[in-house]
Structure 1
Amino acid sequence: MKKVIFLFVWALLSLPALVSASVINAQSYTKSNNSDILAKDVYKKAKLEGVINYQVFEEGFNAYYKTQQRKKQLLTIIDFSKPSTQKRFYVIDLRTNRLLYHTYVSHGVNSGGKVANRFSNTVNSRQSSLGTFLTDTTYYGGNGYSLRLDGLTKGINDNARRRYIVVHGADYATESFIRRHGYLGRSWGCPALPEELSKEIINTIKGGSVIYAHA
């Protein structure tokens, strides 16, 4: 009986230490459980393997993770390392872990032909910009229904507003254009999408979601 009482008292005295150790371990795990672990989890659940390169996705996810101004759990990635003849525009729902859109997107006329290899933050350069963007409001302009972007990467894309870099639809961002010319049509620096999808995509990502352009 004395032995049982002793073990019970020992367990009570040891409990705070065990709880404290558990909390410390949990805190350590949480500290290490940053965007890298989360990115791998999303990549797997959204079934992105073979669809988008993991390193490119991880870069985009890190950009999303660091953007405190974001208002939507959406991440759009533009992979300019791919030629324009390939679908390189991705919209990923990070709340449901689903790939919502995967389509074509143009690059700037002075960024290259089939492949974009020159990028700029300069007004009137007619080149695409890289880095992290935050979507804003929509409007109707010379390119129809369009989405304003704010460039968040200092010195790389923070002139997006001054350059009128927006998401819009274009009749040259189509498979039929590729079949006729061997490459996708080019913009003046804007990420132009197929017209049949542009409005739907713009309405999905507008109002504070993150776009990350990679090359």
Structure 2
Amino acid sequence: MQKVILYVLLFFLPVGYSVTNHKDSVLLTSATSECEKLYIDMHLENIVNYAAFEQAFIGYNKVQEKNRDIITLIDFTKPSTEERLYVLDMKQKRLLYSSLVSHGRNSGENYATSFSNENGSYKSSLGFYLTESTYEGKNGYSLVLNGLERGINDRAKERAIVIHGAPYSNPSVIASGRLGRSQGCPALPQALSKPIINTIKGGTLLYIYADDHKYLAQSNILSSYTASL
């Protein structure tokens, strides 16, 4: 009886449609529903851009190297004068931190609009990273980032792109019209840098978002997302 029903369904499916396509569609719909539910459960409406959260959610589920249920999302569609870094506990369904964060000096003025993986570009790089160890450097307490996407951010270590605190990222700087800018690092306000670094260090995921079509076309991690667009 089940076979008869299946044959009948296949007869009425559009030309070129396959059961495999249907399964992929069902899986994608299920993942989208789970993402929407988590977004609502975490009370992120009017705080976090849903498209940014959805892409971060896909990466969070795809990147197996992470060893904790925390993801940091940076939304570069927002200006530097607004909080645009979010530390999210996906298991406990909590927003742990919301903070200002800088972008690279050659990525733009108040908005980050240009991105690069090249040495000496002084631009931010998009995509997914894993956090590693901490160290004391010229910018104080800092967190090493490992870029996971080839050709997009995999030169992060070579470029010394790390998370650190900086006076040019403090809220008082906003009076000048924008936050100060880095050489490509996501620099935090000094009062928040240490607690945030200690929360996300040691194998959590970081995603830097910018609604950038060039990035989406290159990203292997978000290939299932781009295929659905």
TM over 0.5: yes
User: What does the per-residue CA deviation read over 1:123-158, in whole Å, with 9 as the maximum and x for residues that have no partner?
Assistant: 111100000000000000000000000001111101
Q: Which has the larger radius of gyration?
A: 1
Q: TM-score, normalised by structure 2?
A: 0.79
User: What corresponds to 2:166 in structure 1?
Assistant: 170
Distance in 1 separating the partners of 2:190 and 2:95: 20
Distance in 2 separating the partners of 1:203 and 1:68: 21
User: What corresponds to 2:64 in structure 1?
Assistant: 68
Alignment of 1:124-139 (within 5 A): 124-139=120-135
Distance in 1 separating the partners of 2:78 and 2:201: 25
- Letter of the 1:109 counterpart: R
Distance in 2 separating the partners of 1:33 and 1:117: 31
User: What does the per-residue CA deviation read over 1:18-53, in whole Å, with 9 as the maximum and x for residues that have no partner?
Assistant: xxxxxxxxx99x956753232112101110001011
Distance in 2 separating the partners of 1:35 and 1:183: 37
User: Is this contact kept in 2: 1:35–1:61, CA < 8 A?
Assistant: no
Distance in 2 separating the partners of 1:167 and 1:34: 34
Distance in 2 separating the partners of 1:154 and 1:123: 14
Q: CA deviation at 1:174?
A: 1.7
- % of aligned pairs identical? 50
- Letter of the 1:156 counterpart: I
Q: CA deviation at 1:85?
A: 0.5
Gaps of 5+ in 1: 1-26
Distance in 2 separating the partners of 1:34 and 1:201: 32
- Letter of the 2:94 counterpart: R
Alignment of 1:57-96 (within 5 A): 57-96=53-92
Gaps of 5+ in 2: 1-22, 211-229
Task: Give the secondary-structure state (helix, strand or coil) at the position aligned to 2:169.
Answer: coil
> Is 1:188 the equivalent of 2:177?
no
Q: CA deviation at 1:63?
A: 1.2
Distance in 2 separating the partners of 1:149 and 1:90: 16
- Letter of the 1:124 counterpart: G
User: What does the per-residue CA deviation read over 1:52-97, in whole Å, with 9 as the maximum and x for residues that have no partner?
Assistant: 1111100111111111100110011000111101110000000110
Distance in 2 separating the partners of 1:122 and 1:32: 34
Alpha-carbon RMSD:
1.7
